[in-house]
Amino acid sequence: MAVAINPYLEVSDEVLGAQREGKPVVALESTIISHGMPYPQNVETALRVEEIIRQSGAVPATIAIIKGKLKAGLTKEEIEYLGKKGTDVIKASRRDIPVLLAKGEDGATTVTTTMMIADMANIKVFATGGIGGVHRGAQTTMDISADLEELAQTGVIVVCAGAKSILDLSLTLEYLETHGVTVIGYGTKELPAFYTRKSGFAVDYRLDTPKEIAQAFDVKLKLGLRGGMLVTNPIPEEYSMDPAVINSAIDRAISEAEKSGIKGKETTPFLLAKVKELTGGDSLESNIKLVYNNAELAAKIAYELCKLQQSCNGN
């Protein structure tokens, strides 16, 4: 069951119950279900991420657009529905929401739209794999992910494994700095590069505990400062890929994309699929493990933030 907060937003009974009882909640995106991997692996992974969040003391709120409704908290049946429909579900960014809702259609939420809907549902912590950013060659293509603009204006903590290494990481950090987004390294001063733990680029601050991260965000909220906070969490050492292997695969994938004329929102799915092919599937396995890792950290941050707001019950 879900409760309609307004004509367009429905929040699950589980999420609303958690909020009423003062329990921490963690938002999850749905693009990874519909566009991230094939069925049934996509559904199994999504349910496993929810399980990890519950085991870490929080309540998961997978977010999507289903039949023209913004959903915060999906049932297993709804996750299965998105998983089976797969890439037939529209990958929905901010610009797509009005039309999808007006037409009663489905949408898989990106980082941007997950942040938006989480904020509407008063969920302040969101776990994902990696954010979008400034694409290589953006000086001429102007291909910059809407994720960065959303981080600049929507008050949600985003826990990720850094920006996807198919991007221009230096320009991505510059863009975030220009828009006043604090970039935190969890236990590291170096920006993780999604598949690998190091990038050669420094983050703004290193914080070593979920409590420190929650405290910084709590201050931001109390000051009324606009925008979110980006927490970059390195992929576990045992799942980190060889930088030479992954960078070679990325360079080849980008070259093929350019030759094929792949542009716009089709770029990232194409590149990730090509990198998966070139690495024999190793990149997908790394992707799954880093999402699990981010979900666990996000749950711990949500609990600490909940405590600071003096409304947290539980462990």
* Catalytic residue IDs: 29, 164
Pairing between strand 229-232 and 182-186?
A: parallel
**How many CB atoms are closer than 10 A to CB 142?**
9
Please name which of 11, 79, 89, 6 lies closest in space to residue 45, comparing C-alpha atoms. Answer: 79
Q: Are β-strands 9-12 and 2-4 bridged in parallel, bridged antiparallel, or unpaired?
A: antiparallel
According to DSSP, the β-strands at 229-232 and 157-160 are parallel
231, two tokens: 């927490």
CA-based radius of gyration for the chain? 18
Helix H or strand E encompassing 301? helix 282-308
| Residue reference for tokens 């090509």 | 274
Going from the C-alpha of 182 to that of each of 142, 157, 174, 275, the distances in angstroms are 23, 10, 11, 29
